[in-house]
């Protein structure tokens, strides 16, 4: 018995005349509907696949041991001397910023502030921020910067010292970029990495994570990385 396709065509977003004659046989109608549903499903599958390809791969949750942090002796914002040995027995997260930075530094500091709050129940954790602009970032300047991010003076350290030593520590010790920008405008005087670094109780670097949501990882990759970082901190704190 003939069946009208006008309503079916309209329901799929086509004009009533799309399927040709206004009436066709049931077998032809079934075939057309099957092809339409199949195409729709394939389109949905393709769209999901493309979206999946755009999602960044999370930082691998592997247990790595990279290299020990080399010795350092620097000044904390409160005026006391801090060495790498003072951090032995603590799990810590390191970052390199400068207070005049108009680039990623505020976002990196905000990430550490977030970790300070989310991992407040892990007493073994320390956050350690090194300034790469020590000529300007005196202990007093670092204190103002730390206060802006509500940094706990006992759990989040801000360290300054000779520029050459800190840049060598970043470049050679942590394998992170830190150098003066020859033509840098105010707030852009330095090129540096926005990565943050997980260090274990023995002073060994364990992994690197995004300190900001960058173009390669995006917000999802950044969030996945922070979740894995938090899990790794908790695990290392128990070891």
- Tell me the three-class secondary structure of 144-179, residue by residue: HHHHHCCCCCCCEEEEECCHHHHHHHHHHHCCCCEE
pLDDT average per 10 residues of sequence, the chain (239 residues): 44 44 46 45 42 38 80 97 97 96 92 97 98 94 97 97 96 91 73 92 96 72 92 95
CA distance 143 to 78: 7
Cβ-proximal residues to 192 (8 Å cutoff; 6+ apart), any chain: 96, 97, 98, 132, 170, 176, 177, 178, 179
pLDDT in the model for residue 189: 78
Give the pLDDT score at 219.
Answer: 65
Task: Give how far the C-alpha of residue 64 lies from the chain's centroid of Cα atoms, to the nearest Å.
Answer: 18
pLDDT at 119: 97
Q: Which residue has the tokens 């010795």?
A: 71
> Quick one: pLDDT at residue 202?
97
Cα 183 from Cα 202, distance rounded (Å)? 39
Q: HSE (CB half, 13 Å, CA atoms) of 102? A: 6
Instruction: Identify the pLDDT of residue 102.
Output: 86
The dihedral sign for the CA sequence 159, 160, 166, 167 = positive
Residue 103's pLDDT is what?
87
Q: What is the pLDDT of residue 77?
A: 96
73-238 folds as Glutaredoxin (3.40.30)
């Amino acid at each position: 018995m003939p069946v009208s396709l006008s309503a079916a065509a309209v329901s799929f977003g086509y004009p009533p005349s799309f399927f040709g004659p206004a009436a066709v046989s049931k077998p032809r109608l079934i075939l057309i509907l099957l092809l339409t549903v199949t195409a729709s499903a394939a389109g949905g599958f393709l769209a999901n696949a493309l979206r999946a390809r755009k999602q960044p791969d999370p930082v691998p949750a592997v247990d790595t041991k990279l290299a020990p942090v080399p010795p350092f002796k620097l000044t904390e914002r409160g005026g006391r001397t801090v060495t790498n040995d003072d951090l032995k027995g603590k799990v810590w997260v390191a970052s390199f910023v400068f207070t005049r930075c108009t680039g990623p530094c505020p976002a990196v500091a905000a990430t550490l502030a977030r970790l300070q709050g989310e991992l407040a129940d892990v007493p073994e954790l320390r956050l350690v921020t090194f300034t790469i602009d020590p000529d300007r970032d005196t202990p007093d300047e670092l204190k103002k910067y730390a206060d802006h991010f509500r940094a706990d003076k006992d759990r989040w350290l801000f360290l300054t010292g000779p520029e050459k030593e800190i840049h060598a520590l970043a470049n050679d010790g942590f394998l992170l970029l830190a150098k003066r920008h020859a033509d840098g405008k105010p707030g852009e005087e330095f090129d540096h990495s926005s990565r943050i670094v997980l260090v274990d109780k023995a002073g060994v670097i364990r992994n690197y994570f995004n300190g900001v949501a960058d173009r390669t990882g995006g917000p999802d990759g950044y969030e996945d990385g922070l979740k894995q970082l938090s899990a790794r901190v908790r695990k290392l704190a128990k070891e």
